[in-house]
Structure 1
Amino acid sequence: MPKELDIDARLDAATGTVLAEISRTDAKSGVLLTSFSLPLAALVAAVPGKALPGTSAVLVGVGTVGLVAAMLVVLLVVRPRLGGAARGSFLYWSLCTADELLADLQAPADRATHVVHLSRIAKRKYRGLRLAGDITAASLVALAAALLSALI
């Protein structure tokens, strides 16, 4: 019995850890969206109507498109995925009748499968954030190069 209790406690801890990571990705996404909006707002305010040298104009365009692409990736990170209703999830329960819900809650839960499912969600979200960060870095380099080429 102690080993079963130990695995239950470990599954509870694993579930809590993964849910915390999912929450962190969502919080980071909000920060990133806010951060991306600042340079975009500056570009919208400063660039229209200005004659930029050819190289600078191209680099500003590349940087702007990159920032928009990074924002779209972040939006995909926080976009709810409503397919694949895994048993024991609110998505699954939304498809149940009250009796089916009660039966599901009384059935032994496959908690390990649930932790794996949540971990895959967290990993997908982190991959998206990493991609958005990479796109942003390249975009900022392009924008910095545009600024330098305009000043030279």
Structure 2
Amino acid sequence: MTRADFIARFGGVFEHSPFIAERAYDAAEIEVPLTAAGLHEAMAAQFRAASADEQLGVLRAHPDLAGRLAIAGELTEDSRKEQAGAGLDRLSAEEHARFTALNAAYVEKFGFPFIIAVKGLTKDDILRAFETRIENNRIQELETAKAQVERIALLRLGALLPGDGNA
């Protein structure tokens, strides 16, 4: 697979951050045949090796849950499917107001959006996690958010490739 083909296929696995796929390809540590677990290991290593500012940029590239991009229909296809799968596209007015308030408070406190791998979770599960995690300090939440970004990437790779991406 050429570099351009690889980046076209996997550049969106880390939300709006194709540099992760570029660096993983350039590091020449990707094993063939491609598997979700193997490619995730290579890409996550590049995410972890990125500068703090680059990592923060990846976090900030994620949309708010049930936020304005979702309402405007401007989510990436992956994010749209993930949020819809958790029922975030079918919130009551009260639920939407709660998510909106939590999104604003979270971003104000931490400087990046609340990130959670929503696969297998309900809107109530997500709301409980939101309400719990907003009490974290910035260091705790930064580490939690980065772990969630990696989990989202693994789930996305699992949808593209064989090999244990549904963890």
Q: Give the TM interval when normalised to the shorter protein.
A: under 0.3
RCO higher in structure (CA 8 A, sep ≥6): 1
Find the structure with the greater CA-based Rg: 1
Q: Provide TM-score, normalisation by structure 1.
A: 0.26
Tell me which protein shows more helix as a share of its residues: 1
